[in-house]
Amino acid sequence: MEPTKIILDCDPGHDDAIAILLAGKAPEINLLGITVVAGNQTLDRTAINALQVCQYLGLNVPVYAGCDRPMIREKLTAGDIHGATGLDGPKFAPLDRSIETKHAVQYLIETLMASDGDITLVPTGPLTNIAMAMRLEPKIVPKIHRIVLMGGSFSYGNVSPAAEFNILADADAAHVVFTCGRPITMVGLDVTRKVLCVPDVVDRMAKIDNRAGNLFVDLMRFFNKTQHQVFGWEGGPLHDPVTIASIVAPEVLTTKPMHVEIDHRSIQSYGRTNADVFGYLHKTPNVDVATDIDVDRFWDIVEAGIRNYS
Ligand code: RIB
Ligand code: CA
């Protein structure tokens, strides 16, 4: 079976970094390029972080910097979770690679327009780059095969009672993406909170003892510390890699078609993904919402992804 062509749009971020790691050597995936957006940290940091991860892992994948702020609202970052650099923990060698000169939005437009409509977009940060590309060149929309995004929740949020970070950080962009009409898989907190990277998982991956395993351990030791400080958990939810795992093995996720609207107008609930779980509104579903995950299979996919670097 042909590997799935993807563009990973991310805001590294510890869990974004693991998503890059898994996508980079998965035989089921052809990682065409990485586009970076402001989110977990400012764009100058998230862009360098993506480059550092690719350089450390020896991934020859182009990295494009995109939007450094949301479309309308003020910037929102998550230094309390990811640290001042956005990727605190690991120590990286000086960069001998650079960010591509082309803007990420331009890269998205040119790559999608030149494609046969077989590219899956995998956003794991705020949706600003994707939405701006759709607005700048609407002809790319029918060219998108599917959007598999980490974001939202049909239960409660993580940065506000209503909203999850990626959506809250740019709900206007999320509204553009969720109303684009293309197939969307929403990997929300409802499933990512089931894959907590507890110490036993870190120990399991540490035993692999290769570059990728060592990076995983360094990243997760920091990520778990801040997740414990903020949420009291023993292990942080490994949010973003669930998108990649669902492309490697779609059966790892259970999904349900739902009508999902983004609340980008209210104050208290700004950034909420209003998912009509029971179809009350009798509106046509626009999103395949992840409702469950095979946790054991997910960690097996993560282990296999790390072993791909041996
Ligand atoms: O809410 C979790 C999401 O926000 C993850 O993608 C994390 O990396 C941050 O971007
Ligand atoms: Ca992210």
pLDDT digits (tens, 9 = 90+) for 230-278: 999 999 999 999 999 999 999 999 999 999 999 999 999 999 999 999 9
Ligand 1 centroid from CA 176, angstroms: 19
Which residue, by CA, sits nearest to atom 2 of ligand 1? 165
> 46 vs 234, which has greater pLDDT?
46
Does residue 190 carry a catalytic annotation? no
Q: What pLDDT does residue 136 have?
A: 98
Ligand 1 centroid from CA 139, angstroms: 29
Counting Cα atoms < 13 Å in the Cβ hemisphere of 108 gives 35
Distance (Å, whole) CA 180 – CA 100: 28
Ligand 1 centroid from CA 282, angstroms: 30
pLDDT tens, position by position, 96-146: 999 999 999 999 999 999 999 999 999 999 999 999 999 999 999 999 999
Phi/psi for 174 (5° steps) reads -65, -40
Phi/psi for 108 (5° steps) reads -60, -45
**Residue 87 C-alpha from the chain's centroid:** 15
Q: What pLDDT does residue 274 have?
A: 98
Ligand that comes closest to the CA of residue 36? 2
Task: Name all residues whose Cβ lies below 6 A of ligand 1.
Answer: 11, 13, 15-16, 39-40, 124-125, 150, 158, 164-166, 239-240
